[in-house]
Amino acid sequence: MKSYRPLAAGLALALVVSSPIAAQEGEEYGEMHDHMTSVEHLGGRPNSPFSEAVRVGNTLYLSGKLGTVPGQGLVEGGIVPETEQTLRNIADALERYGSSMEQVVKCTVFLADIADFRAMSQTYMEFFPEGKRPARSALAAGGLVLDARVEIECIATVDAPGGS
C-alpha cells in the first residue's frame, strides 16, 4: 500500500504558507519585517553591515549593544560602568523603535571574561526589577569589538500601531 503522508504534509505546508492567515492583518507578503538603522548610534557609519534592529510583526530583534557613548567611544572603568551604559543604550534604542525595557522578553549577554559575570549580573538586575526579568543567556566570548567587557542583544515586543 502506498503512503501519501509526504504529499499530504507538502500540501498542508503550501496551504499555510499561501494562506492569508499566515500574514498579520494589514500586512502584505514581503513586508512582514522592517530593518531599522540609526546612524548616529552606529558611530556615524551609514554602511554598517547590520541593522540596529529588525521588527517582525510585533517582535523587535535588537542587535548587540556595547557600553559606548556616541562620539566618545567605550566608557572607562570596567564591567560595571560598561554594563550600565550598555543597558542605557538598549533602553534608548528600544524607545526609538516603539518598545521599552519592560517589553524585553530575552537577552543574550556576551562577556569578554566570565569572571565578570557576577558584577554584570548585579548591575543588570537594576535595569530589570524582580518579577519583570526577561529570559537570559550569558556566555564568555574570545573577545568583543572595541575590547569591550560586555555586549548585550535583546528581543522585545512592540505595541501594534494604534496601541492594540
Nearest Cα to Cα of residue 81 among 91, 92, 69, 93: 69
- pLDDT score, position 8: 42
Which of left, alpha, beta for 78 (phi over 0: left; psi -120 to 50: alpha)?
A: left
Q: Is residue 8 part of a domain?
A: no
pLDDT the model gives residue 47: 62
Give the pLDDT of residue 46: 59
In a domain, 13, yes or no: no
Record the cell numbers describing residue 153, joined without a space.
542583544
pLDDT of 2: 54
Q: Of all helices (H) and strands (E), which one includes residue 122?
A: helix 117-127
Per-residue pLDDT of the chain (164 residues; tens, 9 = 90+): 555 444 444 433 333 333 333 334 444 433 445 665 554 444 445 566 778 999 999 999 999 999 999 889 999 999 999 999 999 999 999 999 999 999 999 999 999 999 999 999 999 999 998 898 999 999 999 999 999 999 999 999 998 765 54
| Grid cell locating 19 | 494562506
Domain annotation covers residue 10: no
Burial class of residue 142, CB neighbours in 10 A (0-12, 13-18, 19+): exposed
Asked if residue 3 is part of any domain, the answer here is no
Please report, in angstroms and rounded to a whole number, the separation of the first and last CA atoms in the chain.
52
pTM above 0.85, yes or no: no
Q: Is residue 103 part of a domain?
A: yes
Number of structural domains (the chain) is 1
Q: Identify the domain containing residue 157 by its residue range.
A: 28-163
pLDDT value at residue 101: 97
The CATH number linked to 78 is 3.30.1330.40
Report the sign of the C-alpha dihedral through residues 102, 107, 112, 115, in that order.
positive
Express the helix, strand and coil content of the chain in percent, nearest 5 each. Answer: 40, 25, 35
